[in-house]
Amino acid sequence: MASWRDTASEQTQRDLDELLDDSLQAAQSLLAENGEFIPFGLGISPDGELRAYGVDESVLPAEPTSHDVADSLVRGFSAGRDEIRAAAVVADVRVKASGEDAIDVALEHSEGPAMNVLLPYTKAADSAEDVEYGDLSAAPAEKRVWAD
């Protein structure tokens, strides 16, 4: 089976690897500190600078869900896609099929690749700092930021 790496440029591969690594590190740190986290975004500018992104809370419902925040991040990336070459939306999710908690990283690059990466985790009942991680999995995803 062909991999996205077979057709992606070296720059695209580096960008997505950097976004994934930094996304997972930030999410794992937030889980260790807080036991959970709200969705956040990371992007890479055209000149290669990594930037963190949040949402304008004024555009969210009064009591936003994580899904609302993640969707708002995608809309923001899409509206400003000329100012980035790659984007990641990172969320704390529950996987329906397995019932596991996971870090979900939705990655997308202006050159085409889009994928979702899941890192399942289990928290110790007595400590938010004790988190055990499962195996990373990845699957192709539908483009949302560069959808057209």
- Residue 65 has what pLDDT? 85
Q: For residues 97 and 118, is the Cβ–Cβ distance under 8 A?
A: no
DSSP annotation string for 95-141: -TTT--EEEEEEEEETTS-EEEEEEEEEEETTEEEEEEE---EEEE-
Say how far apart CA 13 and CA 125 lie, in whole Å: 38
Instruction: DSSP letter for 88, please.
Output: E
- Residue 40 has what pLDDT? 95
- Residue 56 has what pLDDT? 75
pLDDT in tens, the chain (148 residues): 668 888 889 999 999 999 999 999 999 999 988 888 999 999 999 999 999 998 877 777 778 888 889 999 999 999 999 999 999 999 999 988 888 999 999 999 999 889 999 999 998 766 656 889 999 999 999 999 999 7
pTM of the model: 0.91
